[in-house]
Amino acid sequence: MKTPYLFSNKWSTEIEDAGFTMVPNLLIKHQSDLDITDPEIVVLVAILSFKWTDAMPYPSAGKLGEYTGKSTNSVRDKLRSLEAKGLITRVPRAGTSNEYDFTPLEKRLVTYAHRAEISVPTYRKKSSHPYREFSTKEEEPKKTEIRKRNGSSGKLTPLGEVLSNKPWS
């Protein structure tokens, strides 16, 4: 039997219970292409730890400093830098902390996804949970339809074939 892809199977239930943050692999892979410094990525990940839905997260600079072990001024400096690089937008909230809009970063990451020519299944909607259960038997086969374009022919190659041709194996 195939082991399910669960966070607790990779780490532990104790670590899972303390919470975890989903970070796009494209962000990790293209950190240097995006000109994001190591201190800036730490701040980005700290903000992402407050992003539980499609709503913009709004942790204070002080809270981000607590999470990262950096001073509030250092965090604010990194936030200004990320905004100047066009990766996030700080949206002021009346009398409280800013909201952080990741739309600019998301748009940049999508360009990297397109360069990799990865096709996202049409059934996946932006607002859907990436690990949702399939509600019908008709949807079940679609979960394996992620494909990669095959060279210059433009023909789609099944995911299983793409994975079996891993350059590191």
Provide the pLDDT for residue 155. 54
pLDDT for residue 156 is more than 80? no
What domains appear along the chain, each with residue ranges and CATH number? Answer: 11-109 (1.10.10.10), 119-164 (no CATH)
Coil/strand/helix, residue 14: helix
Provide the pLDDT for residue 94. 87
The residue among 86, 84, 32, 88 whose CA lies nearest residue 64 is: 88
107-141 per-position pLDDT tens digit: 999 999 988 765 555 555 555 444 444 444 444 44
pLDDT for residue 144 is more than 70? no
The residue among 112, 129, 133, 131 whose CA lies nearest residue 54 is: 129
Q: Does this model's pTM top 0.85?
A: no
Instruction: Name the amino acid, one letter, at 20.
Output: F
What is the pLDDT of the chain when averaged over all its residues?
A: 79
* 89 C-beta neighbours (distance < 10 Å), count: 16
Instruction: Tell me which of 159 and 60 has the higher pLDDT.
Output: 60
pLDDT for residue 2 is more than 50? yes
